[in-house]
Structure 1
């Protein structure tokens, strides 16, 4: 007989995992959720074969997804799938926020019958992520009450509803003018990150208000424009520290940090060590 188990409680900022296969259902569902996880800032790439059928909802960020020798852009909000026994490769450009749902492989037929997943359309894009965000908040509440009879039943239905709403709210990414504009601005930042770019002004030229621009940028890229540009500058500084003999102060100025003290503080936050320690650790012997 199935037995009741407790979910591990962790803070929302740290994400969570719920293993639901052994949890008893009062009203059995043909597609019982086996596990759920929330990753607020996923960085690693996945390149493997899964034994299960999975749906990963991407709430913010962007990256790439490869399945059956075809590649799709991952542009939040969207959903990507992993199919049992089939190789898949996916991951973020920088980071993304992911809510993943795992079903046992014997659920493939039922999920397909309900037209919730299709191997010929393994990726789909949403017009907005409000339903996903609301569903995540509901899951945060439900996981605190997993001992309550019927809680797992609610989770099964909630995830089916989220998947249904994501299908009903599909939007093709190339038809989303806002996403295309943000991607163009991001490409410009990546080219000119050492220049003093006025991002709000650029956003205005693309037809955004500053508030809308920042919201759309965070949704697609996963971090704020300022944070993204700072990381590009620190990455460039890392290269100069390893490849040149310039002083830390000169490298700071070359990377658009006129204040060496501010550079030192930011570098440590991003790289996890001081600039001097980075040079000592990563410099190749001459």
Structure 2
């Protein structure tokens, strides 16, 4: 079956070398790219630059001039799919597919995009019966999720308190991914594209805590895990979490948990915790650094 709403061209899951420069380039199809972790990679499109310092999805459209300057110090892994959309289908109504301002979209908390990207690449690799149909449905779900994340105060009225704006979800993910670094509220506000005051007010509304208080809570949660998983001194753990002042760390930990770090380690420590290696982000069922060429029509059944 060749007359389809979506036609896939190529895809891959690659880990590029540090410092690589790709572009400027113009595509004749759409490309959706998922970066599972933040880095110092810079993406430029339509005259605007973005530092991809947290997990995100990029959507590049046909005829959109863009380029990548990958992290100068570390390899950078990303998953990508190139595809076309039938202009006569109903899919072209997505703002994502026609508006250049939507290029870099934070991956929200509990997003299914990571799993769907991996599943699509698995289908491209194995090509089981009806693989094209299943891949189309996965891509359609991803477009729906990304499109829903574009709902903002300007086009949907006042915030529904049950719906978290993507700027706040992105900030929460950034805090989780950078819990071992110094994080400033002003920095989070800039990443969200909001003023410090608006960011702080909106964060408090949806999270229930001021940003600074939430950062401390997450750092103390990370500290509690490290105390159980590692044998390093408490001073070293404090330093690893960005605390130059060990005594300040002790005060925060006791205020958060109700006990000192030493008491916490003694009460909850378990030697089995220190035997566990950090888990892989997700298992892989297809070859890494492999390009799947999908242009040639083939059987779907």
Per the normalisation by structure 2, the TM-score is: 0.47
Structure with higher RCO (Cα < 8 A, 6+ apart): 2
Per the normalisation by structure 1, the TM-score is: 0.49
